[in-house]
């Protein structure tokens, strides 16, 4: 049985709404947060940081990691772009 477009859209919206609700009420687990990040990535959602924003501050923290240390921890190479 193949799902209809309407069923898939409802499922997509349900997942998004559930993740948003959990983020807003601070009940999201680390695993669910990982799912949320993957959900955004899979749907082509990216953040462009503005100077002085909280995202800019977070990105700056990643700049403190040494790529060799990250690779040694199995994280590979992480490329962050800040504008």
pTM given for the model? 0.56
The token pair at 1 is: 């049985």
Quick one: which of 81, 11, 9, 12 has its CA closest to 42? 12
Q: pLDDT tens-digit profile of 6-38?
A: 999 999 999 999 999 998 998 999 999 899 989
Quick one: which of 68, 64, 55, 63 has its CA closest to 79? 63
What confidence tier does 83 reach under pLDDT thresholds 50, 70, 90?
Answer: very low
Domain ranges of the chain: 1-45, 47-83
Identify the pLDDT of residue 53: 84
């Amino acid at each position: 049985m193949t799902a209809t477009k309407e069923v898939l859209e409802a499922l997509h919206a349900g997942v998004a709404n559930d993740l948003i609700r959990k983020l807003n009420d601070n009940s999201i687990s680390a695993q669910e947060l990982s799912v949320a990040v993957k959900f955004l990535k899979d749907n082509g959602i990216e953040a462009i940081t503005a100077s002085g924003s909280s995202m800019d501050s977070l990105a700056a923290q990643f700049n403190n990691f040494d790529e060799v240390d990250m690779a040694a921890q199995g994280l590979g190479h992480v490329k962050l772009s800040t504008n």
